[in-house]
Amino acid sequence: MLRSEREGFINEQRYIPAKALQRGPDLAAADMILNFNGRVKFNNDDVWYKTYEKGTSPLPQSFRPDLKLEAVDLADSNWMLTGMDHLHGCEHVVFVSLARCKYVTDWFIAQLVLHCPNLKYLDVSGCPEITDATMEMAYKFRHLQILNITDCQGIKQGEVFSVFLEDLLPELIIIGVDSLSKMELPLHEYEQQNSRFLNLGMSASIPEQIVGLRSETSEKSTVVNCKLNMSDSVELKVEPLKTESVC
Amino acid sequence: MLQAFARRAPSISVRARCLCTKPPTSPGPPEREYVQPSTEEKSALKILKDEFRPLFTGEAVGVEKAVPRRTDVLIIGGGLVGTAAAYFLKAHGEMFDVTIVERDYGYTRASTMLSCGGVRHQFTIPENVQMSMFTTEFLKHYKEHLTVLGQDPPHVDFHHQGYLFLAPENRAQLLLDCVKMQRAQGAKTVILSKAQLAEKYPWMNLDGIECASYGTEGEGWFDPWQLVHALKGKNIQLGVRYCQGEVVKFRYDSVPLYTSGGIAEKKRILGVDVDHPDGKRYGCDAAVIINSAGPWAGEVARMAGIGVDVFPELPVEPRKRYVYTVHCPDGPTLDCPFLIDTSGAYIRREGLGGNYICGASPSEEAEPSIANLDVDYEFYQEVVWPSIAHRVPAFNNSKLKCAWAGYYDYNTVDQNLIIGSHPEYRNFLFANGMSGHGVQQGLAIGRALFEYIYYSKYKTIDLSMFDFARFAERRPILEQAIV
């Protein structure tokens, strides 16, 4: 991607507090999203709002305290990290779709955690830069019901994270993850190989008496538990949610 | 005139030595062949001979010397601070000729590679908060900064978990003031009451805890090794010269200083002598020398005469710190932050297989010896494990897996950064003494050094309070939130 093009997007998506003060955070955010070919939905009806073909915007121009932003659809857009600032103050957002956005990274999800903690549906399918850190952060959305991570090449341990997430958030359904029995290596071996921190120390020189004091721990760690749970698998039907409201 | 006299002087003393009957002195270490830097004179014949030597010896034509004879900015030490300084110097001020001298490319003892890699915004001094926030900002967009020829740099694996500082009742007010200050700087830290802590972290024992401060955005940990590699790749593309060698000597120049008490001599640093692994000693002249040698910065400063001829000395020394890897099958999983206990012990999760990384700072009296990087497991038994098992009861059933040790570049006076030029040797810059926060502040320090060299003042974060002159002026700046 050309750097000038990217910088152009960053510039256009800058958060201007004066606009948010004038029209309210929901309408200001909706305005910016519509400028970038996104769609929004409010809490008063079931209609997805999009820019008209001639370029005008369907949104009211003045502050409307009854209109709260609820759903944001930014699939296939050029949304940048500066654009996430607009969601500051939009706590009623429950649906965010960032599918196939090429610039979306884990930092976007960190901002979402900060601004929209009531999220129920998150879609980051097809984003190449999303990594396991997104799964780590997903537990912070206490009401999350559906997480869509189909085709995310950066997520290497999606299956394992799904198990932990489902423990912490019982209502959660994760779309796009295969069953855990596909993993070739047990978890602790995979991590031993791939983590630089776990390989920094020398384990051979621990004196025997210290190891002996903690010897009640058996070698069967949580890994085995994970594998046992996976007999009833997490294979799910991949059903993209349509426009029924999720609230 | 003076130089001509100096050139003839050795020949006189050689003849005089032949006439003496003194027995020869015992042979010292083998003499290294000395390669002249650019300020020493070279006769025209010698220059021609050097030009045509490759033709006669069969070497490749036009081989550059391993260590350049002259450079604009010489950076001693190739850890995170040095590499970041070189990156900012070359990326924003392209005209500089930057050379990094690093004695160990494997970085076996470098503090950067042996650190836990945490980034936190929760400091007690506003400038420290701003420096960490710059590190977070850089890491947000680091792919754009450090892409080389269209290829993505390696992932730094930033885990957005946040630091949790626990405070007992007598320090609760201090914590509240600190969080207020941090929020004023733009950091997103919040105070959690005891009830909120019990709800969010049911696996924690809240005995003696009144409240805690938690960083909600931008805090976490990452892999500094990957960051240094990414920076190094970008540096090489930008044209920074990397030299392997050890700085052994500083070379000076004297200019007469006309004072009311007579003519005094003012010394000026011209450059350094570097011992290269190929057996030669290279002289390298530099306009600006940056000391980013980490824990050994005090040694380098003493070589430059700071602490020997001019006082005060640079109060930075290496201090050994241990980090232990522990396995606990029932420990906290996804919701485990970087936990800092009231006793000073810290613990964080590493991966999902039940492994954790923990450690603590020893008290002043019990500082371990810095002779080697051997680990003391008694310290874990007596200091670290009791604190952690008290705070997180699941760790009563845990097993120590392995451990490593690294050096803090410890500032013995106030455990804070020392940056800026020396009052007498104005071209010798410090970037030392971060006492455990080098990884968080390294990028900001690199940018500050670039601004100091390019603009002669700090433009973004004002670090002039961390200058070297504060030791002579008895003005220490104490940071209370060190781990």
User: Higher-confidence residue: B151 or A151?
Assistant: A151
3-state secondary structure B381-425: HHHHHHHHHHHCHHHHHCEEEEEEEEEEEEECCCCCCEEEECCCC
pLDDT tens profile B308-347: 888 899 999 999 999 999 999 888 888 899 999 998 899 9
Band (A205; pLDDT cuts 50, 70, 90): very low
Check B217 against A113: CB less than 8 A apart: yes
What kind and span of H or E run contains B463? none
Query: Which 8-state DSSP code applies to residue A81?
Result: G
Alpha carbons B291 and B445: distance in angstroms, whole number: 12
Residues in chain B: 483
- Cis peptide bond upstream of A25, omega within 30: no
Dihedral angle computed from the Cα positions of residues B382, B388, B389 and B393, in that order, rounded to the nearest 10 degrees: 180
* Across A127-136, B1-10, B256-265, least confident range: B1-10
Contacts of A106 in chain B (CB under 8 A): 158, 160
> pLDDT band at B93, cuts 50/70/90?
confident
Contact assignment for A3 to B116 by CB distance below 8 Å: no
Best to test chain A binding among B135, B147, B333 (most A CBs inside 10 Å): B333
Given a cut of 90, whether residue B464 has pLDDT beyond it is yes
| Token pair listed for A86 | 């607009």
Average pLDDT over residues B449-470: 93
Cα–Cα distance for residue pair A69/A95, rounded to 1 Å? 10
Q: Is A33 helix (H, G, I), strand (E, B) or coil?
A: helix
Angle (CA) A100 A103 A106, round 5°: 95
CA gap B452, B467 in Å, rounded: 12
Judged by a CB distance cut-off of 8 A, whether residue A72 touches chain B is no
Q: Which A positions 15-54 lie with beta carbon below 8 A of chain B? A: none
What pLDDT score was predicted for residue B480?
A: 77
pLDDT at B21: 52
* A17 pLDDT above the threshold of 90: no
The pLDDT, as a whole number, for residue B376 is 87
Residue B178: the pLDDT is 93
Q: Please state the rounded mean pLDDT for residues B95-107.
A: 92
Does residue B190 register a pLDDT over 90?
yes
Contact B417, A227 (CB under 8 A): no
- Nearest CA to B164 out of B391, B458, B371 is that of B391
Residues 6+ apart with CB under 8 A from B303: B247, B248, B249, B250
Q: Does B140 touch chain A (CB under 8 A)?
A: yes
What is d(CA B336, CA B352) in angstroms, rounded to the nearest whole number? 11
pLDDT for the residue B5: 46
| CA–CA distance, B446 with A225 (Å, rounded to integer) | 47
Q: What is the DSSP string of A181-208?
A: GG-SS-HHHHHHHH-TGGGTSB-TT--H
* Calculated CA dihedral for residues B413, B414, B416, B421, nearest 10 degrees: -50
Q: CB of B394 within 8 Å of any CB in chain A?
A: no
Return the bridge partners of B400, or none: B326
Find where tokens 């973004």 sit: B460
Predicted TM-score (pTM) of the model is 0.84
Token pair, residue A75, equals: 């699939």
pLDDT computed for residue B181 by the predictor = 94
| Of residues B217, B329, B398, nearest to A222 (C-beta) | B329
Across the interface, of A105, A161, A214, the residue whose CB is closest to B400 is A214
pLDDT band at B210 (very low <50, low <70, confident <90, very high): very high
In the block, tokens 């900002």 appear at B137
Element at B371 (helix H, strand E): none
Question: Is residue B290 within 8 Å of residue B98, measured between CB atoms?
Answer: no
Judge whether residue B113 has pLDDT over 60: yes
Mean pLDDT of B447-454: 95
How close is the nearest chain B Cα to the Cα of A16, in Å?
A: 16
Contact A113 B354 (CB under 8 A): no
pLDDT value of position B446 = 96
Helix pair angle (B438-455, B80-92), 10° resolution = 40
Task: Read off the pLDDT band of B36 (50, 70, 90).
Answer: confident
Nearest CA among B272, B257, B224, B270 for reference residue B78: B224
Report the residue of chain B nearest A154, measured CA to CA: B155
Strands annotated E in B43-200: 70-76, 98-102, 118-119, 163-167, 189-193
The three-class DSSP label of residue A213 is helix
Burial tier of A46 (Cβ tally within 10 Å: 0-12, 13-18, 19+): exposed
Is residue B443 over pLDDT 80? Answer: yes
Using the predicted structure, report yes or no on whether residue B10 has a pLDDT greater than 60: no
Predicted confidence at residue A227, as pLDDT, reads 29
- Report DSSP state, residue B380: I
Pairing verdict, β B241-244 and B98-102: parallel
Q: Hey, are the CB atoms on B401 and A136 less than 8 Å from each other?
A: no
pLDDT at residue B29, rounded to an integer? 52
**Confidence at residue A163, expressed as pLDDT on a 0 to 100 scale:** 86
pLDDT of residue B268: 87
Whether residue A137 lies within 8 A of chain B, CB to CB, comes out as yes
State whether residue A153 sits within 8 Å of chain B by CB: no
Omega within 30 of 0 (cis) for the link into B312: yes
B204: confidence class by pLDDT, cuts 50, 70, 90:
very high
pLDDT band at A246 (very low <50, low <70, confident <90, very high): very low
Confidence (pLDDT) at B288? 95
The CA distances from residue B115 to A41, A69, A238, B111, B360, in Å, are 47, 43, 42, 6, 13
Taking contacts as CB-CB distances below 8 angstroms, the residues of chain A near B140 are: 81, 105, 107
Q: Is the pLDDT of residue B28 over 60?
A: no
Q: Quick one: average pLDDT of B287-296? A: 94
Average pLDDT of chain A is: 78
**DSSP β-bridge partners for residue B119:** B220
User: For residues A194 and B26, which has the higher predicted lDDT (pLDDT)?
Assistant: A194
pLDDT of residue B356: 92
Q: Nearest CA to CA, how far is A5 from chain B (Å)?
A: 13
- Mean pLDDT on A177-185: 66
Max avg pLDDT among A188-192, B93-97, B346-350: B346-350
CB B252 within 8 A of CB B269: yes
Range of weakest confidence among A52-56, A211-215, B175-179: A211-215
Taking the Cβ of residue B329 and every Cβ of chain A, the question of whether any pair is shorter than 8 Å is answered with yes
Among A57-71, B23-37, B122-136, B217-231, name the one with the lowest average pLDDT.
B23-37
What are the C-alpha distances in Å from A12 to residues A16, A32, A74, A101, B145? 10, 9, 16, 17, 20
Tell me how far apart the alpha carbons of residues B305 and B428 are, in angstroms, rounded to a whole number: 11
Q: Which two tokens stand for residue A214?
A: 């903690």
State the average pLDDT over residues B203-219. Answer: 92
Hey, is the C-beta of B213 within 8 angstroms of any chain A C-beta?
no
Q: How far is CA B91 from the centre of its chain?
A: 20
Can you tell me the distance from the alpha carbon of A152 to that of B40, in angstroms, rounded to the nearest whole number? Answer: 60
Is the pLDDT score of A235 beyond 50?
no
Cα–chain-centroid distance for residue B307?
A: 20
**Residue pair B227/B115 in contact by the 8 Å Cβ criterion:** no
Give yes or no for B339 touching A (CB within 8 A): no
Question: In chain B, which residues have their Cβ closer than 8 Å to the Cβ of A214?
Answer: 397-400
* CA triple A101-A105-A107, angle to 5 deg: 130
Judged by a CB distance cut-off of 8 A, whether residue B114 touches chain A is yes
Contact B357 A217 (CB under 8 A): no
Tell me, what DSSP letter sits at residue A231?
T
Question: B127 by DSSP, 3-state: which?
Answer: helix
What does the block give as tokens for B88?
A: 């900012």
DSSP code for A89: T
Query: What average pLDDT does the segment B380-387 reach?
Result: 91
The secondary structure of B135-175 as a DSSP string is HHHHHHTHHHHH-BTTBPPPP---B---EEEEE-GGGHHHH
Nearest-angstrom CA–CA distance, B342 and A51? 54
CA distance A247 to B175: 39
pLDDT tens digits, B341-365: 998 899 999 888 889 999 998 888 8
Q: Does B141 touch chain A (CB under 8 A)?
A: yes
For residue B229, which of B217, B245, B220, B242 has the smallest C-alpha distance?
B242
Higher pLDDT, A5 or A219: A5
Is B225's Cβ below 8 Å from some Cβ in A? Answer: yes
Q: How far is B52 from chain A (nearest CA, A)?
A: 46
Q: How far is CA B122 from CA B114, B125, B408, B432, B456, in A?
A: 22, 9, 19, 20, 29
Q: Angle at the Cα of A51 (from A46 to A53), degrees rounded to 5? A: 120
DSSP B234: H
Asked if residue A228 lies in contact with residue A177, where contact means CB atoms within 8 angstroms, the answer is: no
- Mean pLDDT across the stretch B149-166? 87
Count, residues in chain A: 247
Of A191-205, B2-16, B446-460, the range with the highest mean pLDDT is B446-460
Between CA B320 and CA B331 the distance in angstroms is: 28
Tokens of A155: 């997520």
Q: Calculate mean pLDDT across residues A135-162.
A: 89
